[in-house]
């Protein structure tokens, strides 16, 4: 008989999986030359019995700020990186995921990741499969050049989530307020700091 997992272990596993996913985006984002790439983890408030306990957010400075433009292919590399990192962590190869029709599932990636790839959810193009294969080769556990960077970034995210579940910038000279940037829609929320 299999013993059910304790809630603490379930939360730790969910946090680790979320950290691996976001670390994939960050690692590949830095690899393709994005500036000020960062991610953070947040605890889900009032999750249901089948909901994630942790969610992750990623952000970067738009290349247009520096007078450049991110090619569509590089954006697609960053967009698929989270799902590919998940697969690599679970010891899946590109061939495993392709053979299992993993990428034909709408839930293989988030809506924003599908948008970044330029594909409809669950309807990957031939070019996207080439992109996915490229990211797999970079994040592969055995021979991927970026596997150590992925692990390092995921550990950093886990450690950061232990301190606080919301990413907070240092207090600004505006009455002790913290700025937290949430999601890819670039919304800004302000919380009153203690002090």
**91-107 pLDDT per residue, tens:** 999 999 888 889 999 99
As given in the structure block, the two tokens for residue 107 are: 């839930």
Determine the average pLDDT of the residues in 2-17: 85
How far is it, in rounded angstroms, from Cα 128 to Cα 57? Answer: 23
Domain boundaries, the chain: 7-163
Tokens representing 89 are: 């962590």
- CA-closest candidate to residue 58, choices 45, 42, 76: 42
pLDDT in tens, 26-73: 999 999 988 888 999 988 887 777 778 898 988 888 777 666 777 889
**pLDDT value, residue 67:** 67
Number of Cβ atoms within 10 Å of the Cβ of 129: 15
| Rg, Å, the chain Cα set | 18
Q: Are 102 and 87 in contact (CB under 8 A)?
A: yes
Between the alpha carbon of residue 28 and those of residues 24, 151, 172, the distances in Å are 6, 13, 30
> Do you know the residue count of the chain?
195
At residue 161, the pLDDT reads: 84
Weakest mean pLDDT among 55-59, 69-73, 137-141, 147-151: 69-73
Q: What is the pLDDT of residue 164?
A: 57
Higher pLDDT, 51 or 78: 78
Per the model's pLDDT, the better-predicted residue between 113 and 66 turns out to be: 113
Q: What value does the mean pLDDT take over residues 122-135?
A: 94
The residue to which tokens 């680790």 are assigned: 16
Q: What is the mean pLDDT of residues 135-160?
A: 94
Residue 172 scores a pLDDT above 60:
no
**What confidence tier does 194 reach under pLDDT thresholds 50, 70, 90?**
very low
Q: Which two tokens stand for residue 70?
A: 């991110």
Q: Distance between CA 69 and CA 119 in Å, rounded?
A: 20
Residue 38 tokens, joined: 């960062």
pLDDT (average), residues 163-187: 38
Residue 108 has pLDDT above 50, yes or no: yes
Mean pLDDT of 141-152: 95
């Amino acid at each position: 008989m299999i013993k059910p997992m304790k809630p603490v272990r379930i939360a730790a596993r969910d946090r680790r999986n979320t950290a691996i996913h976001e670390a994939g985006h960050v690692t590949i984002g830095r690899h393709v030359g994005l500036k000020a790439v960062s991610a953070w983890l947040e605890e889900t408030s009032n999750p249901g019995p089948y909901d994630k306990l942790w969610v992750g957010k990623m952000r970067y400075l738009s290349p247009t700020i520096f007078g450049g433009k991110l090619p569509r292919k590089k954006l697609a590399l960053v967009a698929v990186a989270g799902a590919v990192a998940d697969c690599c962590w679970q010891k899946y190869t590109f061939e495993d995921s392709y053979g299992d029709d993993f990428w034909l599932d709408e839930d293989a990636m988030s809506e924003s990741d599908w948008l970044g790839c330029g594909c409809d959810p669950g309807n990957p193009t031939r070019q996207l499969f080439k992109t996915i294969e490229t990211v797999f080769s970079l994040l592969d556990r055995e021979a991927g050049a970026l596997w150590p960077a992925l692990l390092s970034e995921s550990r950093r995210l886990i450690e950061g989530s232990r301190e606080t579940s919301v990413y907070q910038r240092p207090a600004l000279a505006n009455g002790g307020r913290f700025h937290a940037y949430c999601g890819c829609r670039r919304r800004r929320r302000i919380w009153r700091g203690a002090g």
